[in-house]
Homo-oligomer: A and B are copies of this chain.
Amino acid sequence: MINKEVKDAKEAVQDIFDGSTIMLGGFGLCGIPENCISALVQKNVKNLTCISNNAGVDDFGIGLLLQKKQVKKMISSYVGENNEFERQLLSGELEVDLIPQGTLAERCRASGAGIPAFYTPAGFGTEVSEGKEVREFNGKSYILEKSFDADFAIVKAWKGDTSGNLIYKGTARNFNPMMASAGKITIAEVEELVPTGQLDPNFIHTPGIYIQRIFKGINYEKRIEQKTISDESK
């Protein structure tokens, strides 16, 4: 197998350049590549286009990149929970492209899978379909959506091996697998990095072929946005 291990986040993101288009896995703050985001903040790379379902909160996740004004454009489905984001958007400093969540996921998958475009019903008859081809199949209307072209994809997994095979846990999987397949360069950070051969080949979520660099992340905070608890007296 091919060894893709790098030392740390700093080494993994070293060639991410100003103006890059980057996919970042995660849903809300769940399953986000915390180490690489920190390294990007430190590197202070600018004018990024970030493809990510959400934009983090003010002081965590992609919010950290927004605070340092490193982001030129966000491509997301939902960007609430972030005051600095709102300020930059309203002042015109930040561009935002909002797209339906399923379309976002499928456009990522299409990018990795060599499908340049596909038809989806999501957004037909809404402003999402403006300027896009509309076409009827079996009496229902669909719009044409295209794949992305991302320079880098950065994903977070639970376990990985040195050949890049990845396993996710719980709902921290979300956008990570399809983004992993879609980067020209894909970087994976994992909580546990094991030697090749330790993972069951039947139960790997992301095959290593999609991964160019992998490292063991450190100090995961895994911040929770809405800690909801059952009434234990019940």
Contacts and interface: CB of A to CB of B under 8 A. Distances in A.
Interface of A: 106, 110, 113-121, 135, 137-138, 140, 142, 146, 167-170, 202-203
A121 B117 contact: no
Task: Tell me the number of copies of this protein.
Answer: 2
A117 B119 contact: yes
Nearest to A158: B202
Contacts of A135: 117
Given A137-B146, A146-B137, A169 B118 contact: no
Contacts of A118: 110, 115, 117-119
Contacts of A142: 116-117
Given A116-B119, A116-B137, 19 more contacts: A106-B113, A106-B115, A114-B120, A114-B121, A115-B118, A115-B119, A115-B120, A116-B140, A116-B142, A117-B118, A117-B119, A117-B135, A117-B137, A117-B142, A118-B118, A118-B119, A167-B202, A168-B202, A169-B202
A64 to B, nearest CB: 29
A43 B119 CA distance: 39
B116 A138 contact: yes
Contacts of A138: 116
A118 B117 CA distance: 6
Contacts of A169: 202
A140 B117 CA distance: 12
A43 to B, nearest CB: 30
A135 B110 CA distance: 16
Top 8 A-B pairs, shortest CB-CB distance = A116-B137, A118-B118, A203-B203, A117-B119, A115-B118, A116-B119, A116-B142, A117-B137
Contacts of A168: 202
A188 B106 CA distance: 26
A10 B193 CA distance: 47
A142 B115 CA distance: 9
Contacts of A114: 120-121
A169 B110 CA distance: 26
Nearest to A110: B118
A158 B169 CA distance: 22
